[in-house]
Structure formats: structure tokens, C-alpha cells
Amino acid sequence: MSSVAVITGASSGIGLATTRALAAAGWTVVATARRPAAAHALRELAAEGPGVQLKSLDVTSDESVQECIGSILAELGNIDLLVNNAGAGHRGTL
């Protein structure tokens, strides 16, 4: 069985690119986003094969984190790598 990676904020940018790279390297990737159903590029990636699984996760909600991680452990048994990428940058004049 392949190693399991969990990526937060996988709907775009670095999280999406990391999902693509780890899946191509043979990892089982659980790609999480607040609304995975609305993340078109991520859904296309998941449709390419069984290596990418989508789950809903909002990192600001303890309930969401516990539900998501609990279901991953129940389904896949363990997590080998966490890429805690979710977040938002802020640029502007102070």
C-alpha cells in the first residue's frame, strides 16, 4: 500500500501543485479544501485515477478537522505526511 499524504488548501496554488506532484510520485493523496465540489482543477485531477481522494476540511474549525482526520484514519489507517498549506496571504499598505 502506498504512503498517505494529507494536503490542506489543495484547491489552488501550492496545494494543488503539491497534490499533483505527490500523486505522480505514487502517493495516496487526500486533497482537502473547504468546498472540494467547487474546485474544478482538483476534481479533474481526482478523476484521473484512484491516487487522489477529495475531502472537505476547514482548518479554522476544530469540528471539521476532527471529522476529516477521523474519516481518513478510519478509511486509510494512517497518515504519513501532512502538508499544512491552507492559508491566505495579505499584501497592502500599512
Over 71-92, what HEC string results? HHHHHHCCCCEEECCCCCCCCC
Work out whether 33 is an interface residue with ligand NAP (CB under 6 A): yes
The one among 25, 41, 48, 87 contacting ligand NAP by CB under 6 A:
87
Q: Is 66 in the site for ligand NAP (CB under 6 A)?
A: no
15 lies in the site for ligand NAP, by CB under 6 A: yes
C-alpha cell at 10: 489543495
| Least distance from ligand NAP to the Cβ atom of residue 94, Å | 18
CA distance 68 to 63: 9
